[in-house]
Amino acid sequence: MTDLNKPGTIERTIALSEINAIVNRYCILARENAPWDEMTKLFEHDAIFRLPNGIELSPQNMSAVVGGMEAKYIRHHITSCNVYFTSPTEASVESFFIAVTDWAVIDHWGGWKDEFRKQEDGSWLIRDKTIVVDGRDPDGWSTARAAAGKKQTSQ
């Protein structure tokens, strides 16, 4: 069996390419008026989607990330992405992002911690995604969204 962490193998190149394509696709789709059905296809059916506040959802319910308070404009930009294969069929992926919204040029920033699993058909899908927000513009959408979420849970 090929060690997918060892550089120079075709298997590693293919796996990295497929995983990076999923990470980039998620980044492109995570925008205003997000096509949630398309995003769901990047995940295993029973995957976990973990919000910054620790709440776990199914991919089918991940639209809760905007909490009914969607930004008019939002773009995520990946600054770095690292893939580490934990087995021939599993990988841990960490990506750093910055998000630009209509509220703030750099609205919020942080990382995505993903666990991928290779499927029977050879494709790779996300089985666990954790959104980590390291910081927010105090006047940004993410700050307003987080404050609205706290009000909802305290009532």
pLDDT category at 1 given cuts 50, 70, 90 is low
Residue type, 68: G
Q: Return the bridge partners of 113, or none.
A: 94, 130
Domains of the chain, earliest start first: 10-154 (3.10.450.50)
Residue 91, SS3 per DSSP: strand
Tokens of 64: 């809760």
pLDDT in tens, 117-139: 999 999 999 999 999 999 999 99
pLDDT of residue 138: 97
pLDDT (average), residues 87-95:
98
pLDDT in tens, 37-75: 999 999 999 999 999 989 999 999 998 877 678 899 999
pLDDT (average), residues 74-95:
97
pLDDT of residue 149: 67
pLDDT category at 141 given cuts 50, 70, 90 is very high
Q: What is the share, in percent, of the chain residues with pLDDT greater than 70?
A: 94
Q: At 12, which helix (H) or strand (E)?
A: helix 10-29
